[in-house]
Amino acid sequence: MMKIGNIEIDKPLVLAPMESVTDQAFRIICKRFGADIVFTEFVSSEGLIRDCRKAMRKMEFDQEERPIGIQIYGSNETSMEKSAQIAESMQPDFIDINCGCWVKNVVNTGAGSALLKDLKKLEKILVSVIKSTRLPITIKTRLGWDKNSINIVEVAKIAEQCGVSAITIHCRTRDQQMKGEPDYSWLALVKSSVFIPVIANGSFDTPEKIKHAFEKFGVDGVMIGRGAIGKPWIFLQTKDYLNGKIYKQNMELQNRFRAIREHLELSVKIKGEPKGVIEFRKYISGYLSGLYDASRIRAELMNYKELHPILKRLDEYEEFLLERAEVGKII
């Protein structure tokens, strides 16, 4: 059983924080499809203390999303401490500190994975944030800066000593950015070095890989990022698989379209028109991937700005595919 504060879940499947992807609508959809824990996109600590609207908005969530963690990033301990207090006022279930972002703009300010090169600073930030809030604090990090400076075991030990409640490990180095093979071999070593829960992350995009992570590396949870984009049902498929059931490889067509419609409607409910439709565009290719004539339809769907016309076009496409399926043509 994995425990973070009051959260107790056996083998949790966690939705990764993803900037510009894991907004409220996407998190709710993933939750409805079985995600156990979700994270907000990362929120800038400097933005929060300046009361920046964009940063404040990113922290909004619905009760349906619980348990949820607000992820913050920064490199200044005072800003991190203050921003943790601001995040706490939103009453999430926990606060996560980003120690893994590879992006230049973030790293150049000393935040994200740059903290892996300055463990004294990391420690100071953890101590300040932990003493400033009553909420559990977790961290999400990488194996190290590059393959010659892997320090994940040391980082996990520091985190535990400071009072961090759980650690998520993206099993790549900062140098690898999002590419190359993750090295999962460190997971078991970290597990045997600390008592806090360890959540594995990095290219876990099939139920088989996720089951393997629980069994082979003994991790407490698995975090899924890109594997959930256009495929939020991966959480339910994985649960079935972990419970020894056969899971459906391909989401049935009607269920897939139901998911698309529900996500789109949620997006519009939360953001209004046309923003909710326009911002939904980035999910379309993922949802339609592998379907007959998907690239032409996707290009067409990119032009819509209002909800009802795009829903109507989706209905027509679904009907077209169902008719093809009925006469035995590929869909």
Question: Which residues make Cβ contacts (< 8 Å) with residue 127, sequence separation at least 6?
Answer: 162
Binding string, residues 224-263; x marks residues near ligand FMN by CB under 6 A: xxxx------------------------------------
Check if 99 is active-site: no
Pick from 83, 113, 203, 238 the residue near ligand FMN by CB under 6 A.
203
Count of CB atoms within 10 A of residue 290's CB? 9
Q: Is residue 19 within the footprint of ligand FMN (CB under 6 A)? A: yes
Q: Is residue 140 within the footprint of ligand FMN (CB under 6 A)? A: yes
- In the range 281-320, which residues lie near ligand FMN by CB under 6 A? none
Question: Which residues make Cβ contacts (< 8 Å) with residue 79, sequence separation at least 6?
Answer: 45, 46, 49
HSE, CB side, 13 Å, CA atoms: give it for residue 150: 17
d(CA 32, CA 302): 26
Q: Is 73 helix (H, G, I), strand (E, B) or coil?
A: strand
Pick from 18, 56, 270, 278 the residue near ligand FMN by CB under 6 A.
18
Of 224 and 288, CB closest to ligand FMN: 224
CB of 307 to ligand FMN, least distance (A): 25
Among 30, 99, 101, 171, the active-site one is 101
Q: Is residue 74 within the footprint of ligand FMN (CB under 6 A)? A: no
Of 12-20, 62-70, 155-163, 309-317, which part binds ligand FMN (CB under 6 A)? Answer: 12-20
HSE, CB side, 13 Å, CA atoms: give it for residue 154: 13
Question: Which residues make Cβ contacts (< 8 Å) with residue 329, sequence separation at least 6?
Answer: 292
CA dihedral 85, 87, 92, 98 (to 10 degrees): -110
Of 15-23, 234-242, 270-278, 295-303, which part binds ligand FMN (CB under 6 A)? Answer: 15-23
- Amino acid identity of 270? I
Residues recognised as catalytic: 101
The site for ligand FMN (CB under 6 A) is made up of 16-19, 21, 41-42, 71, 98, 100-101, 140, 170, 178, 201-204, 224-227
